[in-house]
Structure formats: structure tokens, C-alpha cells
Amino acid sequence: MAIHNITRDLFVLRDAINQNQQTVTSQLAEIIKAVKTKDNGRPELETRASPESNVTADDIQAGALNSTNGTPLHAFIQEHFEWIDQALLINIVSKKMEIKDLIKLIPEEDRPSKGRPTAGLATGIHIDTASGKVQAVGESLNTHEKDIPDLKILLYILSIYGAIRSLYDIEHTGIGAAITYFTTHLIKWDRVDGYQFKHTRAYFIGHFRKYQRSSNSNDWMKIDEQLFIKHMRSPPETTPFPSSPNKRRDTGSSQPQICRNYNDEQKGCSFPTCHRRHICSTCNNDHPAFKCPKRGNKHSN
């Protein structure tokens, strides 16, 4: 009889232990769930909305980030970029900026169009209410050639644009650094390769339209070969004709010109889509000028 009672007690104890284990396991699961979630029940590691989603005025006002000195981002923008209105800021952050608004990134007093009486007017007939003078504003006065006349203005625009994109880079894509690197292409084409600015500007506008909404920073760091072929043109050859300095050199319009960088030992041509001929500028053979045997003979005499 005693053995029976002991066996019964053991089964009761086993059931109690199993029940307690289930209770403890359930409690642990609730604790883990509470740790992994916020008070509102949303996951703590929830992915932020992509910058490509619709951005509202409230989003801009609240400020997605803080600046490095702890100042709320919207206050930082108002302090350092006070000429950027809210509508323009929303368009920048949401990646919906139009080409015609690029000039608004520069303070009004620094814009090249300042002082132009027709600046900012829509195409058509305009009547001055004070003087009664009638003005016809054509497309030529509203194009980017007037707003972005040279490389300095373009770099000014890109520096402001890149700074704002960097401040709102909540996904840490490095877009600000990529836009800064993009400017090195523009500077090289102007200062080293000698391309006319109208071609550089045309490439930039095509690039901006194509990649403004891209979240891949590599799109801003690389050269788009299709856009380069479409917009860039080789600069004119300026080397004077050897036998007659005052006579205009026949550049041979029927074939590409000789690449100067290829013939320069210090520079060299590293551009993958160079349209000039990689031949010797001294004897027209398949070697650069600094390796030309004829040039060596000339120096040895």
C-alpha cells in the first residue's frame, strides 16, 4: 500500500513539473517578444521607409535626422540654407526636382540671371503694368543656358544639392559623397580634356534626369557611356601647323583628330570611349609621339 501511494505521488509531482515548465516557457516567450517590440507593437528593427516614398511637409519639418552638432535637421536647414523654401526642399528629398529649378539652389543674389528683366517669366507675351511696355519672352530666355552659363555655377549648384541629399540620406547610401565625386568628371572634362562647357552641361542634364531618383550611389560615380557618346564632342585641335604658324591647320574633317593625351607621356589617354586617333602626332604611326624614332633622331642632331 505504501508503494502504491509513493508511485501516485511521483506521478503527481511529474505532472506539476511539466506544467511549471510550460508556464515558464510561455513566460519567457512573452518576455522575449516584449523586448523585441516597441510599446506600439511595431518591430524595433523595422526598416525605414525608402526616400523614394512620398515626402510631406510634416516629414521635412520633423526632421528625419539630427545634424552633427545635435541641432534638429529642419533648424539646421533654416540656418544654413535659408533661401531653400519648403516646396523646393521636399522636391529635393523626394527626388522629384525639375531641371528648371536647379538655379534655385543658389542664393538669389548669386544667380547669374539676377538683373535680367525677363528672368523667371514664362514663355509668351508680357505687359509691364507700370510702363505699359510689351515684351515677348521666347524659349531662349528660359533655357538652362542662361541659368547655368559656366562650370563655376554648375559646381555651385551641385555642392548645395549634394549637401542636402547627404543630410537626408537616412539609408546611408553615400549619395552625398557620390555627387561630390561626380563633379570631378566635370572638372576634368573642362580643365584637362578641353571640352566645351555646352557639351559638359548637356551631359550633366541628361545624367540628372536619368539618375536623380536612383538610390545607387554608383550611378553618380560612373560615367554613363551612352550619355557621353550622345552629348560630348571632341574639342577642336589647337596645335598650329608646323610650316606656317599663321596658317590655319587642316584638321581633316573626314576623320577623327589625333589624341593629344595619348601622345603626352605625362598624361596618357585613359578614357575608354576616346573618339580621337591613337597614333603618333609626329609620323602618324602606331606609337605615341614620346616614343617616336623620328623625334629621337631630331633631338640627337
Q: Which residue has the higher pLDDT, 149 or 19?
A: 149
Residue 217 has pLDDT above 90, yes or no: yes
Lowest-pLDDT choice from 51-65, 205-219, 230-244: 51-65
Residue 283 has pLDDT above 80, yes or no: yes
Q: Average pLDDT of 148-161? A: 95
| pLDDT classification of 134: cutoffs 50, 70, 90 | low
Please, what is the average pLDDT of the chain?
74
C-alpha cell at position 254: 573626314
Q: What is the 3-state secondary structure (H, E, C) of 197-214?
A: HHHHHHHHHHHHHHHCCC
User: Which of 174, 1, 167, 185 lies closest to 77 in space, CA to CA?
Assistant: 167
What confidence score (pLDDT) does residue 29 get? 60
The DSSP symbol for 7 reads: H
Residue 148 has pLDDT above 90, yes or no: yes
Q: Which residue has the higher pLDDT, 131 or 108?
A: 108
What confidence score (pLDDT) does residue 109 get? 93
Place of cell 505532472: 15
Could you report the per-residue pLDDT of 66-90, keeping only the tens digit for each? Answer: 455 566 787 888 889 999 999 999 9
Query: Distance between CA atoms of 221 and 145, rounded to whole angstroms?
Result: 24
What percent of the chain is predicted at pLDDT more than 90? 36
Q: Is the pTM of this model over 0.85?
A: no
DSSP string covering 127-162: E-TTT--EEEE-GGGSSHHHH--SHHHHHHHHHHHH
